[in-house]
Amino acid sequence: MRLVRDDEVAAGELARHFPTVSRPAVSQHLRVLARADLVTVRRDGTGASTAATRTDSAELRSFIDDMWTDRLARLKRVAEQAHAEDRR
């Protein structure tokens, strides 16, 4: 999202930022982001360019913060359980 936040970027350029991810996987991720209305994908000949949509970034940030807070709380519980079991 950071890569396309301010400007439209060609799909190939985006893929170069993720050398360990296949181009089809990058395309799949972009399709998911487009279905979520977080990016727009503009076809140009055989290629495509992607740009962030102008969504309510505060709402998106809140969603991500809540998700990570929940995941980190779960991780903390599991780590504490494992630590307690190791001490027995």
Question: Mean pLDDT throughout 51-78?
Answer: 81
pLDDT of residue 53: 85
pLDDT of residue 74: 87
50: how many CB neighbours lie within 10 A of its CB? 22
Domain regions of the chain by residue span = 1-54, 56-88
**pLDDT tens, 3-58?**
888 889 988 899 999 999 998 898 898 888 888 888 888 888 888 888 888 766 67
Among 10, 2, 71, residue whose Cα is nearest residue 38: 2
Whether the model clears a pTM of 0.75, i.e. scores above it, the answer is no
pLDDT of residue 37: 84
Q: Report how far residue 77's alpha carbon sits from residue 60's, in angstroms, rounded to the nearest whole number.
A: 26
pLDDT of residue 6: 85
Domain 1-54 of CATH type 3.30.420.40? no
